[in-house]
Amino acid sequence: MKVTRLPGIHHDGNVVLVSGKAGHVLIDAGTSWYQALQVERIEGLLNGETLDRILLTSRRFPVSGGAAHLANAFDGIPVHIHPDGQASLETGDFFTTWANRYDSDMPRTVTTPVLPAELFPLGDGEIQAVHLPGHAADGLGYHLPHLKTMVVGALLPRADRPTRWDLPSGSLVDLVASLETLKALNLRSIVPLQGPAIRGKSHVADVLGRHISFFRDAVANEGNPPASWHRPAPTALWHTPISPWPLEEHEQV
């Protein structure tokens, strides 16, 4: 099985192509801004083969906005999302998807529900859906068990950026529980919303521990981030620490 991260462009989240002997699956789709370019990038990796389905980590525009276009470009393949996010995509709701903050429409997207623990076999491996609410009620991670890798979307924007819980359907308490779920899996690699993959078991554990500690402190602070932190930009799905958190380490997987 091969996993290829297509780095996010501008506001886009990372797009991840997972290829196995039995087919190809795309995890997340970016915004609708660069959707034609995304098709070209994906086609360049498929070597003439077809894409089978799109899995979304949540309803948020930076990961879902391009899904309708990509699905149609690949012969109407199914777009999967947690049931709690289906109505937002199928009605083109630009409030709960956060598309309005980007001055964008949200394309209406036909979706298929994906349930927690659902498996998508690829012949030489599989992808397992894991419900990870907190940033959004419909948050999902996609676990590649034999690689000990998880694609998490906006639940973890980057190693150095804690996610927001004050967007529609967010929950600070759920965030703590979801990150603890990730930590218990003893992962070797996490693909966040943006930026490079977080690699190496000890680095993954350190990053998750830092984020869990931050959110626990926010719970104790009546659900608020530190008063010294700047208010997030209108388009930001994350909080930005005043003193930068470490982004990368050079530990090998």
Residue 117 to residues 124, 131, 188, Cα–Cα distance (Å): 18, 8, 20
Report the candidate in 140, 24, 133 with the shortest Cα–Cα distance to residue 82: 140
Contact between 58 and 140 (Cβ < 8 Å) = yes
Q: What is the pTM of this model?
A: 0.96
Output b/e per residue, 173-193; b: 16+ Cβ within 10 A: ebbbebbebbbebebbbbbbb
Looking at residue 244, what is its pLDDT?
Answer: 86
172-184 vs 201-220: helix crossing angle, rounded to 10: 160
DSSP β-ladder status, 53-55 and 79-81: parallel
Report the candidate in 103, 50, 37, 47 with the shortest Cα–Cα distance to residue 77: 50
Question: How far apart are the C-alpha atoms of 45 and 235, rounded to whole Å?
Answer: 30
pLDDT tens, N- to C-terminus, the chain (253 residues): 999 999 999 999 999 999 999 999 999 999 999 999 999 999 999 999 999 999 999 999 999 999 999 999 999 999 999 999 999 999 999 999 999 999 999 999 999 999 989 999 999 999 999 999 999 999 999 999 999 999 999 999 999 999 999 999 999 999 999 999 999 999 999 999 999 999 999 999 999 999 999 999 999 999 999 999 999 998 999 999 998 898 765 444 3
Contacts (Cβ under 8 Å, ≥6 apart) of 47:
none
Structure tokens at 119: 């498996």
Question: Under CATH, what is the fold of the domain 2-220?
Answer: Metallo-beta-lactamase; Chain A (3.60.15)
Residue entry with tokens 């996610």: 163
